């Protein structure tokens, strides 16, 4: 295996004891919908890692990604004047 390749080992999920999960209900979770402008700004400021060592599964199909990029290039939706 090359030095830059990762090896993944399949592991079973470990069951957590109730005392280990008690604090989970205290967690504060929220979602945020970023605008394209915000994403581009974060990329420009190098706050987003574009090539991480680990990446979650794709959320968009290749066609959806292509249409999204095309919409940015064409300026859809248009920005307010």
Instruction: Grade residue 45 by pLDDT with cuts at 50, 70 and 90.
Output: very high
* pLDDT confidence of residue 30: 75
* pLDDT confidence of residue 1: 53
7-36 pLDDT per residue, tens: 777 777 777 788 877 777 777 777 778 888
DSSP 17-62: PHHHHGGGGG---------HHHHHHHHHTT-S-SS-SS-PPPSS-H
- The answer to whether the predicted template modeling score (pTM) of the entire model surpasses 0.85 is no
* pLDDT confidence of residue 15: 79
Instruction: Kindly report which listed range (36-40, 70-74, 77-81) carries the lowest average pLDDT score.
Output: 77-81
- Among 59, 76, 58, which Cα is nearest to 67's? 76
């Amino acid at each position: 295996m090359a030095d830059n390749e990762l090896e993944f080992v399949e592991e079973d999920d470990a069951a957590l004891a109730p005392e280990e999960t008690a604090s989970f209900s205290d967690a504060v979770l929220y979602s945020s919908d970023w605008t394209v402008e915000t994403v581009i700004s974060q990329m420009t400021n190098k706050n987003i890692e574009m090539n991480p060592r680990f990446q979650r599964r794709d959320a968009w199909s290749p066609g959806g990604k292509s249409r999204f990029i095309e919409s940015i290039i064409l300026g859809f939706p248009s920005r307010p004047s």
